[in-house]
Structure 1
Amino acid sequence: MTTEHAGRLAGPLSASVANLCRRLQPQVSPRTAAGFAQVLRRLGAPLQVAVAGRIKSGKSTLVNALIGRRVAPTDIGECTRLVTRFQYGTVDRIEVVFHDGRKQVLPFAADGVIPAELGVDIDTVSHIEAYLTHAALQHMTVIDTPGLGSLDAASVARTEHLLSAAAGHAEPEPWDSGESGDGTDETGDEPGDAEARADELDETSRNAVAGAEAVLYVVTQGLRADDEQALAAFTAATASREAGPVNAIAVLNKADTIVPESVEGAEGDLWTAATLLARKQAEVLKPRVADVLPVIGLIAESAESGQFTSGDAEALRQVAGLGDDVLDVMLLSADMFTSWECDVPAGVRVRLLEKLDLYGIRQAVDAVRADPDLTAGALRRLLLDASGLAAVRARLNTVFAARADGIKAAAALASVTALAQASGNAAERQRVHDAIEVLLAKPEAHQLRVLEALTLVASGAVEMPDDLTEEVLRVGSNADIGTQLGRPGGSPPELATYALERAGWWRSFASFGATPAQSRVAHVVHRAYFLIWQQLKAQGGSR
């Protein structure tokens, strides 16, 4: 773990967990204390977001668009079979990290991309660390993963190692004492077995701290069973915190390949079709993801990473100058676009196709024809808008960045609990459990209770009626108060009144209509509504 971000905490909750770790370190075993030190380093790092999905879903292209630089290789090569972490650094560099802990520094290729061939035995490599002096990475580390569904079993294993539990045993419920009441710990082992599993647990702890806290899952038109399985297996940090609306969103990539006529209600419009299809996929993946958003990763990468040049803009002007009959034929297929005889050189057309594909070319040509004086910069911005990347970034900020403090604090607490349980020392485990309960009792820590309740409901661990499930997901998954209350755009007085009404309803439900498990969730939701009401009242939203 790099120290370049050390000490930069996401917010007050992360600071509280960091203080808890420091306070407990002298009171636990050296091995547990070393694990707490890893948790502290992780708390001081940016949020770790894994970009995952099936092979050829366009993950690396999307990574480049998000970073704003074409650095992740998109062609099949050695490095596309490895997990690559893109993080902020003071000097651009690549570090190949081996399974035995060794590191080897490599230069970037001449085109600024990670070399396709690393010149080392790939079977001995754990992952790649890429440090970039790019502002986009100061607040979010982006983790590019090999594709699920690849024929390369080792690549799949590396991805699943990141996305699913590193060890084959069950992890404790977050913030649980680990007592099962039958003389065994939550893993099902006898208390004396802990030392026998010491090496495995140490490896689990290391991998957990190095893994992802949130996931951006890339899908294409056809969802498959392993898409859902991968999301179901996703764990943020430790303790099997499954993918849910707090820490996972999905994107429908390659939206330009959708045939609008195949989607009912699209009325022949491609973006409408993509939006409708994304909504259908969101229903299938719910509640594993907060949303599914359409995007065209290739156009986003070209427009955002500096690949679209003034020369490309000029080439598009030449294409726009072709006659309608010729252009209509050329835009029927990629082969027709590159092979049809016209005044624009074939090599220029190939380059445009590689950067924008047919949909992007059509959008650019229409824009140039509508405004012949359009500058190259304006055309790049228009293409970026057409890619859908802005909406993805906005959702990333809403779901991840705005909740980074809670996500990181919750993941860190789960790690602390797992580390204490792994020690096999009942007194140590109880000491950690008690300290966590004290932290959770503080009003400012209620966000963690909300995240826990949301995870319980989203994973199906606590079953609720559909309407109440929707309400829990809405309250827990959004940062905007109006959206949390299901009344976007409502006036502060109206929102305050409604929040107080719902607080009362959930309190009654917790006391009289709920099962014990539901009551636990209901009390959390009641408290969430009450705190929202207090916040609105303080802002003058209630008289």
Structure 2
Amino acid sequence: MSGVSAQVVRVGIAGRRGCGRATVTRVLRGAGVAVVGSAEPADLDVYVVAETLKPEDRRALAHSPRPVVVALNKADLAGFGGQGPVATAAAHCRRLSDFTGVPVYPLAGLAAVAALDDTVVDDEVLDALRALTTDPADLGSTDRFIDKAHQLPHPIRLRLLAQLDLFGIAHGVLALRAGADRAGLLAALRRASAVDGLLAGIDAAAAPVRYRWLIDAHAVALPASDDAVAARMAAAIEVVRAAGMAVDDDVTAAAHLRRAIVWQRYSRGPVSRLHRCCGADIARGSLRLWERAGGVAESLP
């Protein structure tokens, strides 16, 4: 069991050129995701797109040999108005997900890099953003930000654009005006980037991978120890929750028995082999917990 629990889900990065694969790689590595190179084996893929899915993107997703999550990069360019560009991109992602059956998440890549890479928001960038809180610059376009006269030297404005873009600059200035320190600034950029939604999506897509590792570890016989049963139950719960189902996590004896009955019945229904195994493992683990709480084992109805 220790070998299985120590395994790390390896993530590959795919997508067309120019969509920001290098940026997304940097973001995910900064967040602690085990991103592998194109020649290395991966357990799931993050497929990077910009603006929308093109026909070649849809073909690649349809024929993916692994679980796949789509990152709609450059979400900060999705158009202003309403609740902002990332909210607009998120709504677009939901439509794309409904159309393809693949989870799609927005990402403002440069803002996410700035939030997760300690080398981006250094003293020079922080001082420049602070200067903009008292002497605002024209953020209406990149040309106006660069060309209009301002106290910030031209090279520093170019650096701000290259590392934060107008979206990150605007959110950084707003955070500092509200009294944020450096940590608060990074937190604001992280929220604005929507990276946590993508990370949660990757974790959900990885749940079946982790569960199958446990299944393979117990291929010869069902797990017997309490720890092994609990591990498989926990991994199975991750899978079904990632699929949008609720699992009662009450710890009373009655709840354990009720959960066992519900998921044993689920496992016997018209579900996939994966979910059939998950239902059985949740039922088995719940029964083990019920027995430890003083219940007497008996056949489920």
* TM-score over 0.5 for the pair: yes
Distance 1:260 1:335, change over 3 A: closer
Superposed counterparts of 1:481-496, under 5 Å: 486-487=245-246, 491-492=250-251, 493=254
State yes or no: 1:440 paired with 2:219: yes
Q: 2:261 matched to which residue of 1?
A: 500
Checking the alignment, whether the CA contact within 8 Å between 1:213 and 1:407 is kept in structure 2 is no
Work out which of the residue numbers 178, 182, 205 in structure 2 matches 1:370: 178
Code of the residue aligned with 1:63 in structure 2: it is T
Q: 2:231 matched to which residue of 1?
A: none
Distance 1:377 1:505, change over 3 A: closer
State yes or no: 1:224 paired with 2:54: yes
Superposed counterparts of 1:140-539, under 5 Å: 141-145=34-38, 210-235=40-65, 243-244=66-67, 248-261=68-81, 267-286=82-101, 289=102, 291-305=103-117, 306-323=119-136, 327=137, 330-371=138-179, 374-400=180-206, 405-407=210-212, 440=219, 442-444=221-223, 479=238, 486-487=245-246, 491-492=250-251, 493=254, 497=258, 500-504=261-265, 507=268, 509=269, 524=277, 527-528=280-281, 530-531=283-284, 533-534=286-287, 537=290
Distance between the aligned counterparts of 1:524 and 1:45, measured in 2? 21
After TM superposition, give the deviation of residue 256 of structure 1 in Å: 0.4
Checking the alignment, whether the CA contact within 8 Å between 1:52 and 1:217 is kept in structure 2 is yes
After TM superposition, give the deviation of residue 489 of structure 1 in Å: 6.6
Number of equivalent positions: 283
Checking the alignment, whether the CA contact within 8 Å between 1:48 and 1:214 is kept in structure 2 is yes
Checking the alignment, whether the CA contact within 8 Å between 1:258 and 1:273 is kept in structure 2 is yes
Q: 2:230 matched to which residue of 1?
A: none
After TM superposition, give the deviation of residue 260 of structure 1 in Å: 4.5
* RMSD of aligned Cα (Å): 3.8
Code of the residue aligned with 2:36 in structure 1: it is I
After TM superposition, give the deviation of residue 281 of structure 1 in Å: 1.9
After TM superposition, give the deviation of residue 495 of structure 1 in Å: 7.4
Distance between the aligned counterparts of 2:292 and 2:106, measured in 1? 36
After TM superposition, give the deviation of residue 476 of structure 1 in Å: 9.1
Counterpart of 1:52 in 2: which secondary structure? strand
Distance 1:532 1:271, change over 3 A: farther
Checking the alignment, whether the CA contact within 8 Å between 2:112 and 2:190 is kept in structure 1 is yes
Counterpart of 2:124 in 1: which secondary structure? helix
Q: 1:62 matched to which residue of 2?
A: 24
Counterpart of 1:443 in 2: which secondary structure? coil
After TM superposition, give the deviation of residue 272 of structure 1 in Å: 2.5
Distance between the aligned counterparts of 1:539 and 1:481, measured in 2? 24
Code of the residue aligned with 1:229 in structure 2: it is R
After TM superposition, give the deviation of residue 362 of structure 1 in Å: 0.7
Q: Identity of aligned pairs, percent?
A: 23
Checking the alignment, whether the CA contact within 8 Å between 2:266 and 2:276 is kept in structure 1 is no
5+ long unaligned stretches in structure 2: 225-233, 297-301
5+ long unaligned stretches in structure 1: 1-7, 12-43, 70-135, 146-161, 163-209, 236-242, 262-266, 414-435, 446-474, 511-517
Deviations 1:352-409 (A, max 9, x none): 01111111111111112222xx333432332223222233334434443x55544557
